[in-house]
Amino acid sequence: MSSSVVRAARGVLAGLAVAGVFASVTFAQGFPSRPIEFVAHTSPGGGTDLFARSITDMLAKEKAFPQPYIIGNRTGGGGAIAFTYIKSKRGDPHHILTVATGTFMSAIARPSMELGIDQFTPLCLFAQDPQAIAVRADSKFKTFKDVIEAAKREPGTLNIAVTSPTGTGRIALWMIERATGTKMKYVAFKSGGDAVLSVLGGHTDVTPENLSEMLPLVEGKKMRVLAVTGERRFKQAPDVPTLKELGVDVVAATGRGFAMPAAVPKEAAVAMEKALRRVYDSPQYKEYSYRNMFEDKWLGSAEFREHLVRGGEEMAVFLKDVGLLK
């Protein structure tokens, strides 16, 4: 091959490389160029859906970006429908997954789902959202001890409403069963809101879902919280004990965060992470967090990724125990 042909080929390759870099930078600098979709794996009213709507409202008030935000509820498959959808948007930063860590870690821990952490770009973690063991206000269960005693008397008969077979509520139930030597029956719903409504309607007995999903009903004295699964009592609910205080060594919480698809322009991911940090530091988020009794915990992109990887490894233990992972 002549030297002139080689030089020409190199020129073409260099031009293509520059064009590719230029396209990536243009895409990032022009981000966002259309509405940004925040995807929730739960139906409207679920904790993940409510979190997505609240944060996007704050992003709009902060005027972080000129484009509007839309919420995409992609339910089903224990989160797999939403996660697979985000995976399919590889390289496009206009689609953002609202991460509920329990359900997400379950997906990345199962090789058969082909949803490893490398299919996503973690952005940040906002908070831990502890679970609340709750019943209908007129329930015969007046204390958490009443629930455990009933479960021991009649194993497998108590109906416990959870969001999904692998969500944090289900994991909390599994941890409680192991710690107390009990066996209960879980009933899965499309969202925590649906699970709460099933208890309110008398179709199930107890729910271990997020307090944010039942807060209006608790405040309206239609639901009653027997215990919480955080490290400490909520300042806003000082009379509600933690499970650890009750002698049950269980701590469980849904992490609330966000992730983009894999291979998005770095500048776009950084811009969104910075915008979300502005929301996290804002007075309106602090008020929202206090009202919903979150345990605030900011993790940036790199730390959040490590957190998800470790959590996925721990999740594998749960999945093996319940027969969902060989």
Q: Which amino acid is at 291?
A: R
Which residues of the chain does CATH 3.40.190.150 include? 28-129+254-321
130-228 maps to CATH 3.40.190.10:
yes
Question: pLDDT digit string (tens) for 206-250?
Answer: 999 988 788 899 999 999 999 999 888 887 778 999 999 999 999
Contact 82, 75 (CB under 8 A): yes
Query: What value does the mean pLDDT take over residues 286-302?
Result: 92
Contact in structure between 100 and 166 (CB atoms under 8 Å): no
**Which residues of the chain form CATH 3.40.190.10?**
130-228
Query: Closest by alpha carbon to 197, among 22, 1, 44, 300?
Result: 44
Residue 124: phi and psi, rounded to 5, are: -170, 160
Distance separating alpha carbons of residues 27 and 32, to the nearest angstrom: 8
Handedness of CA 211, 213, 217, 223 (dihedral sign): negative
**The model's pTM:** 0.79
Cα–Cα dist 50/187, whole Å: 22
Looking at domain 28-129+254-321, which CATH architecture does it have? Answer: 3-Layer(aba) Sandwich (3.40)
Q: How many CB atoms lie within 10 A of CB 315?
A: 24
Tens-place pLDDT, residues 131-149: 999 999 999 999 999 999 9
